[in-house]
């Protein structure tokens, strides 16, 4: 029994069925989850034309007219299937698994109470396991007047039906960067980012945020560091927003986006009925089983367990989880390597779809040092790789690899630059596979591709 039908929940059900069990998924909104309708898919649909326009602008001889925001918003609507989940429901039927539309809530061991949209209730008892896959929601900080001002969160900005003239953004993380760039590229005349710290994307290598900030400055996005909202005023819905800052004049905007992180969607799922604290991430072991629940029947995957708030990592956890549940149900060995999550704590692969793209896998230099590794780092200017130069004039980018000096394998890799997202999986294989540098040296990148960065990094290292 799976509560929450986002990418993680759907995949647990599919794997459990593949393993010979039956499965039911309950979702209170749309099957497909936040990712399909209000996160990954719409945000990337909005960003794609902005990225493409930037790419075209770097190639002499090509010009691109202004982006028609209306058509981009219409394509976004297509990408989210006009907020209709019948395609996903058909997919789940074909798994085959049962879909229950309604709100799920734990009601003691292996029991889930489902409240349907018409208010009717039923209780389902799972034979083997219950999986929490309820995701996360935007966290809104307790700034005076902020909630009352009804700001946009990721939910509203990805579903925007028009582009505000003046957009203010609180936050400097992934959602803030991607959506500031999307709205600015789609026509916002004044986009201002209020960033608490001293850089964008603080969890990434510092050069990534620096390159992004330079690109935003060139594009006319006003990024202000070391500041934030101390109070917010909006007299009525639809009116302009006034954001009071720690110093200087207040900022006025037509819309305000709050992108200051997430909180787990676990406050309403009956955690208290099984001895866990509502509203917290559900702590799990590497088989995705909730620790601290007697009987071992409760699991949590995806954003709900807080390991890595990324769709592909939630789906990976879901594959582990569905397979583990099936193995345990059948009394089969449940400790095989494929039945354990070994990817999450090494540093998940992630792509930030801005211009430049920022992507990384494994540990940053700081994280590797904190973990006690004896490391050496190498960096290289991506713009001086022939393949990158050929992509367009003024290509700016950088790559960095973190090497474990004791084992001579890569602990982490970061790329920043236009078109680097597709380089990431090679890095993921090298880091996850712990490919020795001496072996990696024989993986010859094609000329003239951006992948030649691999050769340059290894040469810089000394190979
Ligand atoms: C703007 C934005 C862009 C993003 N872009 C990317 C990206 O490009 N790549 C990437 O990897 N990640 C991205 N993410 C992160 C990604 O969206 C999440 O990691 C992912 O959606 C988590 O999947 P999930 O299945 O755990 O939860 P969700 O997708 O949040 O799904 C949870 C589901 O549970 C349901 N639910 C909740 N409570 C109940 C209940 N009590 N009963 C029944 N159903 C319930 C909800 O209705 C929802 O359908 C982005 C996030 C945001 C906000
Ligand atoms: N392309 C992608 O992979 C993608 C895209 C969007 C979101 N996501 C995922 O969704 C998650 C949520 O993204 P996010 O950008 O909301 O969170 P985040 O954790 O990436 O960034 C939050 C930002 O808000 C700042 N902040 C936190 N509290 C604040 C406060 N009270 N006042 C001012 N600033 C504050 C933080 O310093 C940070 O810069 C991320 O973990 C990310 O992995 C992924």
How much is the pLDDT for 117? Answer: 97
Q: Which helix (H) or strand (E) holds 17?
A: helix 7-18
CA 431 – CA 379 distance, rounded (Å): 16
For 16-32, the DSSP string reads: HHHTT---EEEESS-TT
- Protein residue with its CA nearest to atom 16 in ligand 2: 261
Burial status of residue 225 (CB atoms within 10 A of its CB: 0-12, 13-18, 19 or more): middle
201/210 Cα distance (integer angstroms): 9
How far apart (Å, rounded) are the C-alpha atoms in residues 423 and 363?
17
Distance (Å) from CA 4 to ligand 1 centroid: 9
The pLDDT value recorded for residue 238 is 87
What value, to the nearest 5°, has the Cα angle with vertex 147 and ends 248 and 167?
50
Alpha-carbon span 264 to 136, nearest angstrom: 4
Task: Tell me the helix, strand and coil percentages in the chain, rounded to 5.
Answer: 35, 20, 40
Q: What is the pLDDT of residue 352?
A: 98
* Atom 21 (ligand 2) nearest CA: 173
- Specify the ligand 1 atom closest to the Cα of 302: 26
- Classified by CATH at the fold level, domain 139-261 comes out as FAD/NAD(P)-binding domain (3.50.50)
The position carrying tokens 């945020």 is: 209
142 Cα to the center of ligand 2, angstroms: 16
Whose C-alpha lies nearest to ligand 1, atom 12? 310
Q: Are the C-beta atoms of residues 378 and 456 closer than 8 Å to each other?
A: no
Q: How would you write the pLDDT of the chain (463 residues) with one tens digit per residue?
A: 999 999 999 999 999 999 999 999 999 999 999 999 999 999 999 999 999 999 999 999 999 889 999 999 999 999 999 999 999 999 999 999 999 999 999 999 999 999 999 999 999 999 999 999 999 999 999 999 999 999 999 999 999 999 999 999 999 999 999 999 999 999 999 999 999 999 999 999 999 999 999 999 999 999 999 999 999 999 998 899 999 999 999 999 999 999 999 999 999 999 999 999 999 999 999 999 999 899 999 999 999 999 999 999 999 999 999 999 999 999 999 989 999 999 999 999 999 999 999 999 999 999 999 999 999 999 999 999 999 999 999 999 999 999 999 999 999 999 999 999 999 999 999 999 999 999 999 999 999 999 999 999 999 999 9
pLDDT for residue 65: 85
Q: What is the pTM of this model?
A: 0.98
Spans of all domains in the chain: 2-30+84-135+265-339, 139-261, 356-461
DSSP 8-class letter at 445: P
Q: Which atom of ligand 1 is nearest to the CA of 32?
A: 49
pLDDT value of position 371: 97
Pick the CATH number of 356-461 from 3.30.390.30, 3.20.20.370, 3.20.20.80, 3.40.50.720: 3.30.390.30
CATH superfamily name and code, 2-30+84-135+265-339: FAD/NAD(P)-binding domain (3.50.50.60)
User: Rounded to the nearest whole angstrom, what is the distance from the C-alpha of residue 208 to the centroid of ligand 2?
Assistant: 15
Question: What span, in angstroms and rounded, lies between the C-alpha atoms of 103 and 46?
Answer: 30
Q: What interface predicted TM-score (ipTM) does this complex get?
A: 0.98
- The minimum-distance atom of ligand 2 relative to the CA of 175 is 15
Q: Ligand 2 centroid to 173 CA: how many Å? A: 4
37 alpha carbon, closest ligand: 1
* Positions of E strands within 308-408: 350-352, 357-362, 375-381, 398-404
Contact call for residues 37 and 162 (beta carbons, < 8 A): no
Tokens of 154: 């990721």
Same fold, 2-30+84-135+265-339 and 139-261: yes
């Amino acid at each position: 029994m799976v509560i929450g039908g986002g990418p993680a929940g759907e995949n647990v059900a599919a794997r459990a069925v593949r393993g010979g069990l039956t499965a039911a998924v309950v979702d209170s909104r749309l099957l497909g989850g936040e990712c399909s309708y209000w996160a990954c898919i719409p945000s990337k649909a909005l960003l794609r034309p902005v990225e493409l326009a930037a790419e075209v602008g770097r190639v002499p001889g090509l010009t691109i007219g202004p982006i028609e925001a209306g058509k981009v918003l219409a394509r976004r609507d297509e990408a989210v299937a006009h907020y209709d989940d019948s395609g996903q429901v058909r997919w789940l039927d074909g798994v085959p698994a049962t879909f229950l539309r309604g709100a799920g809530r734990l009601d003691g061991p292996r029991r889930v109470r489902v409240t349907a949209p018409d208010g009717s209730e039923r209780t389902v008892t799972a034979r083997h396991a219950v999986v929490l896959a309820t995701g996360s929601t935007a966290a809104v900080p307790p700034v005076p007047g902020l909630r009352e001002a009804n700001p946009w969160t990721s939910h509203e900005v990805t579903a925007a039906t028009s582009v505000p003239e003046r957009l203010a953004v609180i936050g400097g993380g992934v959602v803030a960067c991607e959506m500031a760039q999307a709205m600015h590229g789609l026509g916002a005349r004044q986009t201002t980012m209020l960033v608490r710290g001293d850089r964008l994307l603080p969890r990434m290598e510092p050069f990534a945020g620096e390159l992004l900030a330079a690109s935003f400055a060139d594009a006319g996005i006003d990024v202000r560091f070391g500041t934030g909202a101390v109070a917010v005023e909006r007299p009525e819905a639809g009116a302009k927003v006034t954001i009071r800052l720690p110093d200087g004049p207040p900022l006025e905007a037509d819309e305000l986006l709050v992108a200051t992180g997430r909180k787990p969607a676990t406050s309403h799922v009956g955690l208290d009925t099984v001895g866990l604290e509502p509203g917290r991430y559900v702590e799990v072991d590497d088989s995705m089983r909730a620790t601290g629940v007697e009987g071992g029947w409760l699991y949590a995957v995806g954003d709900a367990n807080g390991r890595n708030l990324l769709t592909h990592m939630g789906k990976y956890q879901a594959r582990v989880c569905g397979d583990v549940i099936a193995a345990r149900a059948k009394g089969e060995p449940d400790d095989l390597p494929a039945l354990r999550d070994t990817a999450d704590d090494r540093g998940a692969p992630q792509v930030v779809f801005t211009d430049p793209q920022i992507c990384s896998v494994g540990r940053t230099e700081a994280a590797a040092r904190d973990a006690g590794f004896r490391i050496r780092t190498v960096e290289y200017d991506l713009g001086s790789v022939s393949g990158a130069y050929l992509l367009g004039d003024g290509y700016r980018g950088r790559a960095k690899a973190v090497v474990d000096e004791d084992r001579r394998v890569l602990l982490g890799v970061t790329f920043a630059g236009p078109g680097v997202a597709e380089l990431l999986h090679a890095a993921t294989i090298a880091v996850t596979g712990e490919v020795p540098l001496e072996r990696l040296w024989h993986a010859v990148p094609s000329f003239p591709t951006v992948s030649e960065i691999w050769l340059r990094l290894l040469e810089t290292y000394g190979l």
